[in-house]
Structure 1
Amino acid sequence: MDCKILVDTNAQYRQEDLFKLKDRSQEDALEMRAAAAHLNYIRLEGDIGCLGITNFVEGKSVKSCVQMGRWNRKSDPVKCCQMTTERYQCNRYTLTLLGHSYEWLVAFFVEYRDCLVNGAGLAMATMDIIKLHGGEPANFLDVGGGATVQQVTEAFRIITDDKHQVHAILVNIFGGIMRCDVIAQGIINAARELNLKIPIVVRLQGTKVDDAKALIAQSEMRILACDNLDEAARL
C-alpha cells in the first residue's frame, strides 16, 4: 500500500504542517533545482526531452480552457481549433467529458532527442506524440508564461545535465503571452554558456518572432531557425 500527496504551493501559508513533512532527501536533484528556478520539471526515463512555455489561443490558454470546462460549444471550439490548426499546423481531436465535447490540439514535432515547446498542455501532447512515434520522453519541463532569459538558460542547463544522452534539441514556441525574442535570447545564452555542440532546431511563431529570428541569425551559433513544424521535422 502506498500513497502520494501533492499539495499546491499556493496553499503553503494555510498548510504549514503538511509542508513540514516534506522529505527533500527523497526528491530528485534536478527536480529540486528546477523548483528553485520556478520551473515545473518532472524527470522521466527516456532520451527525448520536453520543455514548455504557456500558450494562449484567442486570449485563453488551451490548458486553462480545458481544465476549467470552458472550451465547449459556448466558446465556439470549432472556430478556435480551426484557427489554431491553420496557423500552427496542429491536429484536432475531440474529447468527450461528462457529456460535453471539448476540442484538443496535438502538434507533431518529433525526430529529435530533445524538445523545447511552449505550454504545459503542449508539452504533454509532445510527450504523447513522442511515444506514438516510438520514442521515450526524458522529461516534462514547463517554464510558464512569464519566463525570463535566465529561466530559459537554466532550463537548457537542466535538460543537458540530465543523465540521458541528448542528441539534439527542438524548440517549438507559440508566442502569445511569452515573447519569442526572450526565448531566442535564452537559447543563445544557453548555447554559448554551455558550449553546446548538439544541433538546436528552433521553430518560433508569435509575438516578436521577427526580432527572435534576427537574434538567432546574428548569433552565428549552431541554431537552425524555421517557420513551421514540417520544416523543423525535416531538419
Structure 2
Amino acid sequence: MNLHEYQAKALLQRYGIKSPAGRLARSADEAAEAARGLAKDQANAGRWAVKAQIHAGLRQGAGGVKFCDSPEAVRDAAAALLGHRLVTPQTGAKGKLVRSVYVEQAVAYEREIYLAALVNRSAGRVALIAAGEGGNDIEARLAAAPEKMLSLVIDPESGVAEDKARALAGQLGLSGAGADQAVVLMRALDKAFSDCDASLIEINPLVVTAEGDLLALDVKMVLDDNALFRHGELADLRDEEEIDPAELEAKLYNLNYVRLDGNIGVMVNGAGLALATVDLLKEQGGEPADFMDVRPEATRAQVTYGFKLLLRNPSVDAILVNIYGGGILRCDTVAEGIATACKEEGLRVPLIVRAAGTNGELARKILMSQGIPVTFAQSLGQAAAKVVEVAGRKAA
C-alpha cells in the first residue's frame, strides 16, 4: 500500500525523523491559508513548496512541485495543479489526477543525500541503501555509477549497529554532529520499517541544512498489504481514490490484480509464475494488460470474477491463462470459473490456455464441452508466442 508524501512524513516524525513544516490542502484557498499559517508558526517562512500529492515519483520534473514567494502565488500554484492530471515517467501516459497538494515550508540546504530502507532479498534481511548524492533521477545516476551506492545489511536481532552506521555516515561525507544525527536517523528508519511492516521507505533527498540538521525533504513509503491486518490505523491511510477501481474491487475477491498498459490479459496462479509469465510475454514482444495472481485457495466464484475483469477491460485484445494445478487449487476449478465468466459476459477476444498439473486434462475437457472457443498450449513458451501473435504483435 502506497502512502502519500504527507502521510509518510507524519508517520516518520513519530520516530524522530524530521521534515519541514507543512499542511495539506484540497483547494486553492486552503493552500493559501496553509501558507499563511506556516508563515505565522515558523520563523523565516517566506517561501513555500506546493507539492502535488499523487502515488508517483519524479513529480518535480513534471511540474508537480512549485516554489512560491507569497500566499497568493501559492494559491495560483495550487489552482494550476488541483483537478488536473499530472504525467510523470511513473504514471503512464494518462497521468494521475491531483486531488490535494502539500504546502511545505521551503528549506535552504547545502547538499542532498539518498537514504532508503528496503528488503535485501539476496541477504534475506532489511538493508539501508544510501548515496552521497540524492534528488531527481537518482536511480539513473546510480545505475550509471553503481559504485556510488552504499549498503548496510541490518541484523534482525541487534538492529543497526552504531559502528556500522557511523561508518556509513562517514562514507556519506558526514562527521561530528551530522554523523551523530545520521546514526540516530538510521536506527529510527529501521524501527519504523519494522514497526509498520513496510516494504520500502525512501528518503530522497535527505538534506543537510546550513545549520547541520538532517531533514527528510521527500519521502516515499510503501507498506506490505499482507500485514495490514496488524495495523488498523495504517490501513485507514489507504487513499482509495488513487487506486484503479478494478484493483480495489479485486481485493474483495482476494485477487492480486494490477492493471498495466498492454493489450494481453493475463490470469495465473501464483505470484512467481505470474511474474515469469509477464516477463516472458515482454521478451516475446507482447505487452501485458495486467498482473493477476489467483491465490491457491481461490474458489470458482473468485476465478469467475477475476476472468470477468479481463473480459471487461476494453484494452485487452487476447487473453492468456497459465495455470499449474497443485495443492488446493485444481485446473478444473479454474476452467469452471472461466466457463461461467464467458457465458455471463461473452468472450470477444482470442483465449489461450495452458493448464498443467492436477486435473489439467479435465480442465481442457470442461472448456471444450462448454463450447468455449479456446486454443490450448502445451508449454508456457508456446502459449506466450501464440497469445502475442493473436494480440497483433509478432513474437520476437
Band of TM-score, shorter chain? 0.5 to 0.7
Mapped partners of 1:145, 1:2: distance in 2: 35
Q: Residue 185 of structure 1: CA displacement?
A: 0.7
Mapped partners of 1:231, 1:133: distance in 2: 10
Mapped partners of 1:31, 1:192: distance in 2: 23
What aligned pairs does 1:132-211 form with structure 2 within 5 A after superposition?
132-164=283-315, 166-177=316-327, 178-211=329-362
4+ long deviations beyond 6 Å:
none
Task: Look up the equivalent residue of 1:48 and give its one-letter code.
Answer: I
Q: Residues 66-111 of structure 1: CA distance to partner in whole angstroms, max 9, x if unpaired? A: xxxxxxxxxxxxxxxxxxxxxxxxxxxxxxxxxxxxxxxxxxxxxx
For the Cα contact (< 8 Å) 1:123–1:142, is it kept in 2? yes
Match of 1:130 in 2: 281
For the Cα contact (< 8 Å) 2:264–2:320, is it kept in 1? no
Match of 2:248 in 1: 32
- TM-score with structure 1 length normalisation? 0.65
Q: Bigger relative contact order, structure 1 or 2, given CA contacts below 8 A and separation 6+?
A: 1
Mapped partners of 1:229, 1:7: distance in 2: 30
Q: Percent identity?
A: 40
Match of 2:265 in 1: 49
For the Cα contact (< 8 Å) 2:265–2:318, is it kept in 1? no
Q: Residues 110-163 of structure 1: CA distance to partner in whole angstroms, max 9, x if unpaired? A: xxxxxxxxx211111122122223322211111111111111111111122234
Task: Look up the equivalent residue of 1:27 and give its one-letter code.
Answer: I
Q: Residue 181 of structure 1: CA displacement?
A: 0.7
Mapped partners of 1:43, 1:52: distance in 2: 14
How many aligned residue pairs are there?
168
Distance 1:184 1:25, change over 3 A: same
Q: Residue 221 of structure 1: CA displacement?
A: 2.0
Task: Look up the equivalent residue of 2:356 and give its one-letter code.
Answer: Q
Segments of 5+ residues of structure 1 without an aligned counterpart are 54-118
Segments of 5+ residues of structure 2 without an aligned counterpart are 1-217, 388-396
For the Cα contact (< 8 Å) 1:216–1:225, is it kept in 2? no
Task: Look up the equivalent residue of 1:34 and give its one-letter code.
Answer: A
- DSSP-derived class of the 1:198 partner: coil
1:228 and 2:367 aligned: no
- TM-score with structure 2 length normalisation? 0.40
Match of 1:22 in 2: 238
- DSSP-derived class of the 2:257 partner: strand
CA RMSD of aligned residues (A): 2.0
Q: Residue 9 of structure 1: CA displacement?
A: 3.8
Name the larger-Rg structure: 2
Mapped partners of 2:322, 2:226: distance in 1: 28
Distance 1:223 1:126, change over 3 A: same
